[in-house]
Structure 1
Amino acid sequence: MSTSDTDAPRARVSGARSGPLGRLGRLGRLARELVLLELALYRSLARWLARRPDVPAGTTAIGYARQVTPLLWLWTFAASIETVVIEVVLRTIDTGWSEAIRLPLLVLGVWGALWMLGMIAAHRVRPHLLAADRLRIRSGARTWVEVPLDRVATVRPAEHELPGLVTTLHVDGDLVLVGVSSRTNVEIGLDGPTTLRTSAGEVTASRVALWVDEPRELVARRLGDPGRTVG
């Protein structure tokens, strides 16, 4: 499932530091990514509550959240029920240790529910964006890949799976995958190796795979046709 954007592949720098300093640097980058993800989830939640999707003027929204939303709601409901049950149980236990852990567990439970609501919101308010010259593929709160339409050669239904349950962006040779629930259902073929801008930095690829709610509609848009219209 696309429940995390911290796993986007980062470019490997030749001669990168190793040892304690290298590990410290990696931990620092991971902490930064987690903080940015947290903030992005709260921004998405605010947009969702205000009914202001992140769809700039002149672009067409292409949804991808239909499949994953029910499961995210199920997880959110289960986490909320768990929080309530733990709170009730700890209130009935009249001991010092139960009172000491009750508030931290309640805060943790509320935070987890808000985090899941943020994930739902991110999938709803950040759809793929089709503009006149590019397709911006998204997944969740922070993952994105931009495909220039003048390099598109083919668009066809094709399924791929990403490694891991929470992977949203994965590079496999000449193929870039932007998954939802670790799956894609449309493959875009480019007219040759192309440098693409992504949330993880630039990558070179000849194919890009993504998940959409209506794959046939995306194929019918003829993205590589100069005569097509946005909308």
Structure 2
Amino acid sequence: MSLVRRLPGHAWQVLLVELALYRALARWVVRRPDVPAGTTPIGHGQLAGPMLWLWIFGSAVEVLVLDLVLHRWVPSLRLPFLVLGVWGVLWMLGLLASTRVRPHLLGDTELVVRSGARTRVAVPLAALEGTRVVNHALPGTVRSLHEDDGLLLVGLGSETNLELVLSAPTTLATSAGPRTVSRVGLWVDEPREAAVALRRRLSAPAR
């Protein structure tokens, strides 16, 4: 019964992800990344890009081949499978677009770590003690946030390569609700450059 009661909430979350993917795809098409004024984007899409392109190409070929087969042997199933296949390709294009138009955002007071269409973790710079270029393997790819022993990993692909060390256990606002952690792992395209940018922002005088 508890699973049944949770179904409407899960369905709503799935719908929100779906809409966010299409918004990301639209932003990518018109070349309008989601980067508010006054923030510095930190890219994180290079790792996932080649893999996603491979999936998209393979899925597009599969749609064409299946359409030809069904057109010849089972024409009544051609249209529903074509619609399903095109939807799958658009979904993956939206996921790829989200890695391009939703970079991490470095602002004056916080670093917003982002992944996929909706995942978001706000890290206050006042709580940041330092950074480390270190790799963490993700325990899975279904969930975008993984928490273990005070370490919050923001999933993108199969690993993270930059760790944010907080001065004390801090409650962070995330897209999945508050999380109290002392370290945050994320993936960035250039971890050493990102670490330098963070150190410069921390040492900059307050505005």
The code of the aligned residue for 1:87 comes to: D
- Does the 8 Å contact 1:192/1:206 carry over to 2? yes
Give the corresponding residue for 2:5. 25
The alignment partner of 2:46 has SS state of coil
1:182 matched to 2:183: no
TM score, norm. by length of structure 1: 0.85
Instruction: Work out which of the residue numbers 181, 203, 207 in structure 2 matches 1:227.
Output: 203
1:135 matched to 2:111: yes
TM score, norm. by length of structure 2: 0.95
1:58 matched to 2:34: no
- The Cα of 1:154 is off from its aligned counterpart by 1.2
The code of the aligned residue for 1:149 comes to: L
The code of the aligned residue for 1:59 comes to: T
Instruction: Work out which of the residue numbers 97, 106, 111 in structure 1 matches 2:87.
Output: 111
Higher relative contact order (CA 8 A, sep 6+): 1
- Does the 8 Å contact 1:138/1:145 carry over to 2? yes
- Does the 8 Å contact 1:54/1:125 carry over to 2? yes
**1:19-71 CA deviation, whole Å, 9 max, x = no partner?**
x1x21122222111111100000000010001000000000000000011111
**1:108-160 CA deviation, whole Å, 9 max, x = no partner?**
00000100100010110000000001000000101010000011111011111
Inter-partner Cα distance in structure 2 for 1:223 and 1:194: 19
Q: Which runs of 5+ in 1 are unaligned?
A: 1-19
Q: Which runs of 5+ in 2 are unaligned?
A: none
Task: Give the structure with the higher percent helix.
Answer: 2
Give the corresponding residue for 2:21. 41
**1:156-184 CA deviation, whole Å, 9 max, x = no partner?**
11111121233321111211110211310
- Does the 8 Å contact 1:156/1:188 carry over to 2? yes
1:79 matched to 2:59: yes
Q: How many residues in Structure 1 have an aligned counterpart in Structure 2?
A: 205
Inter-partner Cα distance in structure 2 for 1:223 and 1:197: 22
Residue 170 to residue 117, structure 1, CA distance change in 2 (3 Å) = same
Inter-partner Cα distance in structure 1 for 2:79 and 2:128: 54
The alignment partner of 1:132 has SS state of coil
- Does the 8 Å contact 2:108/2:201 carry over to 1? no
Aligned 1:126-205 pairs, distance under 5 A: 126-205=102-181
- Does the 8 Å contact 1:154/1:224 carry over to 2? no
Q: Percent identity?
A: 53
Residue 228 to residue 163, structure 1, CA distance change in 2 (3 Å) = same
Q: CA RMSD in A?
A: 1.4
- Does the 8 Å contact 1:134/1:147 carry over to 2? yes
- The Cα of 1:78 is off from its aligned counterpart by 0.4
Aligned 1:200-215 pairs, distance under 5 A: 200-215=176-191
